[in-house]
Structure 1
């Protein structure tokens, strides 16, 4: 039986950041036009629009409102040593969660009701931790730009639109890289790789009616099988398929978190913080 979770007080993003995320972020920061888009799309008007949209159309989670969900967020923030953002629940039939962070405004997470219905509490905390990973790694502003670019493109000048299209393509490539880091943040909070795999399995093909029949071990085996397909045509098809997406394929994410959960880097991280806090080491529940 797993013990209580290890708080990672003093945790730095560099300690768990995926190398392809780091490389992609460094490339993104050097793109011409990015600063201009930040100023254009994330000004005071955008801040007010997002604030009014959420406070007017969603439910703000707090100790008095959806307290169990609030407690999951509070614990995740404590483990990742991160200031707690606002959390909103929004009525939407598409399972999803996303993070928005604008300059000068408190960041916030939005969770769709259909996602809450799909996941159990540990899985939901893994999703919240994933979103917190974006904030821990300061992904928030770039994520917000990526979400706004499609809507803003039609309102820009032809020159601005051309810049926006190019940046959108590169931003979405960066988002796919950043997701691997944030899955690691989810694992650092759940401290159970099977919980992360279960989230990805349900996002790939789950529903409340199928939950009792889903098998996490079988999905992990599926992810490993996908990884073993390694010939030229398959690799080309994998690349083309992934390039169309805003997120990496669920099996790819499951494969990556499966690998990292067994890595010396992850094990050492938990052992170090367990020793620093005199906390009993929480072993994986495999």
Structure 2
């Protein structure tokens, strides 16, 4: 899931090796070894890669506008009306920025493939198949801050980055929903505008001659558009997960979850919290505070995203899309 939760889910060193906790059967596992802890003792045990189909249908004729959020449509029109925006973006995100971002990820992350973290690779390929979009390169990066984001620079092959702490926090189904969220950005051709926003949230102010100019001229409008685009990509996550509680659980965990408390979190209670936020912000003063609170954010508040995806999951538009889907076979354990 482009950063405060997803894709940005949220931007968020551990030792230079990857440790993945033992996962129950309903969780994603991509390490060939895990550490099992029993009181003061621990032992290492080899475990297999388990990949099971979460969704039941794929969308062979899916168009981005089939699931694009109305606010995304509105703000895209506004951005396109800004004279020279695309040209400015290509100039700003030229050779220097491209090399900074590409080398940063290639040099400090692990590139996922059939032979490297194959379970994670399978989740990405499967999600791309469901949404009928080409799978981008995928990197795993050490970070204590749960996050995933997408970058597509100068017409090069786009890539998605997932932080290790996000993998540890989420179940297999939830992690695939995050990957689907990122694929939603590519499906909707969010392209260069998404890269603007991600470079801002990733600290582009430190890139000489680039960050400052973007921040001064485009930040507010870009973040308004990005908040709307995130709502669209949450829908892409739902199209792959095909269970709103999976997507809402991701948002809840990003808002206040950790591996040790994951089994105590309650999606229904989080939705009730979202409704209470709507009620508390319905007054004139509440409305003003709510807008002031979100204006400089790159992502909508998690409770608002949860409420949005819950409502869309019950809409005729979503149900109609599911009926259009093509049944797919489940992947077997590998």
Whether the aligned pair in 2 keeps the contact of 1:58 and 1:88 (CA below 8 Å) is yes
Partner Cα separation in structure 1 for residue 278 and residue 120 of structure 2: 35
- Segments ≥4 residues shifted beyond 4 Å: 160-164
The aligned counterpart of 1:105 is: 156
The aligned counterpart of 2:204 is: 151
Q: How many residues in Structure 1 have an aligned counterpart in Structure 2?
A: 273
- How much does 1:152 deviate? 5.0
**What is the TM-score normalised by the length of structure 1?**
0.89
Partner Cα separation in structure 2 for residue 226 and residue 46 of structure 1: 39
Matched, 1:44 2:95: yes
Partner Cα separation in structure 2 for residue 25 and residue 235 of structure 1: 24
Q: Deviations over 1:26-69 (max 9, x none)?
A: 10111134234312222234333322222111000111111111
The aligned counterpart of 1:190 is: 241
- How much does 1:184 deviate? 0.2
- How much does 1:213 deviate? 1.1
The worse-fitting range, judged by mean Cα deviation, of 34-43 and 12-21 is 34-43
The aligned counterpart of 2:69 is: 18
**What is the TM-score normalised by the length of structure 2?**
0.77
Which of 306, 311, 315 lines up with 1:263 in the alignment? 315
- How much does 1:221 deviate? 1.6
Matched, 1:235 2:235: no
Whether the aligned pair in 1 keeps the contact of 2:55 and 2:241 (CA below 8 Å) is no
Relative to structure 1, the CA distance from residue 119 to residue 175 in structure 2 (aligned partners, 3 Å threshold; closer, same or farther) is same
Relative to structure 1, the CA distance from residue 249 to residue 40 in structure 2 (aligned partners, 3 Å threshold; closer, same or farther) is same
Matched, 1:215 2:277: no
Whether the aligned pair in 2 keeps the contact of 1:77 and 1:84 (CA below 8 Å) is yes
The aligned counterpart of 1:133 is: 184
Matched, 1:249 2:323: no
Q: Secondary structure at the match of 2:143?
A: coil
Structure 1: give runs of 5+ residues left out of the alignment: 281-286
- How much does 1:105 deviate? 0.5
More helix by share: 1
Partner Cα separation in structure 2 for residue 84 and residue 250 of structure 1: 26
Relative to structure 1, the CA distance from residue 121 to residue 3 in structure 2 (aligned partners, 3 Å threshold; closer, same or farther) is closer
